[in-house]
Amino acid sequence: MYELIGVTKQYRRGQERVDALAGIDLTLEQGDRLVIQGPTGGGKSTLLQMLGGLDRPTSGRVLLDGVDLAGLSERRLTAVRGENIGFVFQSFNLIPTLTAQENVETALVPLGVKAAERRSRAAEALESVGLGERLGHLPSELSGGQQQRVAIARALVKRPKVLLADEPTGNLDESMRDEIVDLLEGLWKEHGLTFVMVTHDSAVARRSPRLATLRKGRITIKENRSATVAGPPVG
Ligand SMILES: Nc1ncnc2c1ncn2[C@@H]1O[C@H](COP(=O)(O)OP(=O)(O)OP(=O)(O)O)[C@@H](O)[C@H]1O
């Protein structure tokens, strides 16, 4: 499903050139789960942006189901992203003036889903993350963990194939962290998602069957035999 071939990304900082990604080769099958760790500045967020089509590589190819994201027009790329890829970030990025339900519905507007269906699908997605009773609440009326659940519902309401999460538990205390990771794992299995998560938290990373480390823009991958959840999802 994903094939990255020789992906590099260079940034300019004044006169200086930063090699954020220095030649990444990576294959992920549908339903795979990968955790990415590594030192600060190692290239984790940059790699996630490449997978998500949020930015383009300097060279190399990012194939999603055989389509090179780097070669798509901005319009086509936005459409591919909207249909296939859900994002969850450390900062929940909810719109403060919209209710939980309205925040989730926003993901369906660019897909041309009609208002009545948007409402029912958003309610269903919020049910699935345990917030069926909180549809009308504003983000400020929800806990951090609940806000992240809304963000997860917003990522999944469009029924993507891919879920990309950048430090999804970074703003949460330990008990909420575990709840959110349980939830993400459950959704990964239930929907057969390809799930890539960046985390600094080794307790979170330990649960993944595959671990990638990014250092100075280079990737190494190892299987994690002691993962608490092993193997790809069933079905
Ligand atoms: N827009 C940008 N302009 C210039 N340099 C950038 C830009 N984005 C990232 N970089 C640089 O690219 C390198 C990789 O950054 P990246 O954010 O991918 O690392 P990271 O592993 O996610 O780090 P962290 O753990 O701190 O989030 C760093 O040296 C960073 O300073």
Q: Quote the crossing angle between the two packed helices 115-128 and 144-156, to the nearest 10°.
A: 130
Fold of domain 2-223: Rossmann fold (3.40.50)
- Span from the CA of 133 to the centroid of ligand 1 (angstroms): 39
Calculate the average pLDDT of the chain: 92
The model's pTM: 0.91
* Ligand 1: residue whose CA is nearest its atom 3: 11
Q: In the block, which residue shows the tokens 């299995």?
A: 189
Q: What is the mean pLDDT of residues 14-27?
A: 94
pLDDT for 57 equals 95
**pLDDT grade, residue 230 (50/70/90)?**
very low
Using DSSP's 3-state secondary structure scheme, residue 42 falls into coil
* Ligand 1: residue whose CA is nearest its atom 18: 43
183: number of Cβ within 10 Å: 18
Pocket mutation for ligand 1, best pick of 11, 40, 90 (most atoms within 8 Å of C-beta): 11
Using DSSP's 3-state secondary structure scheme, residue 128 falls into helix
Write out pLDDT tens, residues 36-59: 999 999 999 999 999 999 999 999
| Alpha carbon separation from 143 to 131, 134, 172 (Å, rounded) | 12, 11, 10
Residue 130 has pLDDT above 90, yes or no: yes
The two beta strands, 162-166 and 194-198, are parallel
Q: Which residues contact 81 (CB under 8 A, 6 or more apart)?
A: 52, 53, 54
Write out pLDDT tens, residues 72-99: 999 999 999 989 999 999 999 999 999 9
- The pocket around ligand 1, CB under 6 angstroms, is made up of 11, 13, 18, 20, 38, 40-46, 214
pLDDT for 199 equals 94
- Residues 80, 67 contacting (CB under 8 angstroms): yes
Which amino acid is it at 103?
N
DSSP letters along 45-112, please?
HHHHHHHTTSS--SEEEEEETTEEGGGS-HHHHHHHHHHHEEEEESS----TTS-HHHHHHGGGTTTT
- Residues 152, 122 contacting (CB under 8 angstroms): no
108: number of Cβ within 10 Å: 22
Q: What is the mean pLDDT of residues 126-133?
A: 95
**pLDDT grade, residue 204 (50/70/90)?**
confident
Q: What is the DSSP letter of 139?
A: G
pLDDT for 140 equals 96
